[in-house]
Amino acid sequence: MASYSTGSEAFAREKLSADATQSPPQSAWADKYRGATVEDLDPPPALSVSPNDSVSSAMLAAYERDFTHLTVTSSSKRSLLGYLSIPRLKQLLGEGAVKESDSVSTAMQRFNRKRGVYQVITMETPLEELEKFFESETGPNGEPREKQGFAVVTDTSRKFVLGVATKADLEEFVKRRP
């Protein structure tokens, strides 16, 4: 016996199947992380450098701790200014765009505070939200952005940088969980 559905039911079913292919359903993320938060990733304390530090000292500090991203904070106010991506820095050094004696400010990526809303990631942020932050190509206000490879973990008022969580940290956490 054939079953027929109304146009609105067919549309809803098509939309549901299209949405399912775009991103995993929230329940799949919830099953994967089982209520875990960023704190469960046990991110190491952030390593911050000053914009006035030399590129060579920043690279040495990153290599000693096996970090791929360093936060850059103001030396006077301790406010978060941006970050230094070690893979990008290696590329800039190879191209000759930056020298090891240059200051970090020449190679750092600055946060654009005027552009939009900053998505706060804290130790209490559920891992489902962190994965969504890494995978999404839109910002909190719906503006287009690139996929993120790391997140700066701060306190709720964004006064202190507590750590950096990477997509690799999240993947490693999933592998370790039974």
Are the CB atoms for 100 and 106 separated by under 8 Å?
Answer: no
Per-residue pLDDT of 37-69, as tens digits, reads 999 998 888 889 999 999 999 999 999 998 888
pLDDT at 3: 40
Q: What is the pLDDT of residues 22-42, one digit of tens each?
A: 545 544 555 678 889 999 998
Q: What is the mean pLDDT of residues 147-155?
A: 85
Mean pLDDT of 111-115: 67
* Residue scoring higher pLDDT (15 or 42): 42
* pTM for the full predicted model: 0.68
| Residue 178: per-residue pLDDT | 64
pLDDT of residue 161: 85
Mean pLDDT of 120-126: 93
- The mean pLDDT of the chain is 80
The reported pLDDT for the residue numbered 91 is: 95
Three-state DSSP class for residue 131: helix
CATH of the domain spanning 35-176:
3.10.580.10
Tell me the mean pLDDT in the region 76-101: 90
Distance CA 167, CA 171 (A): 6
- What number is the average pLDDT over the span 140-162? 81
Show me where the domains of the chain are located.
35-176
Which whole number is the average pLDDT over 89-95?
94
Burial 45-64 (b: 16+ CB within 10 A, else e): ebbbbbbebebeebbebbee
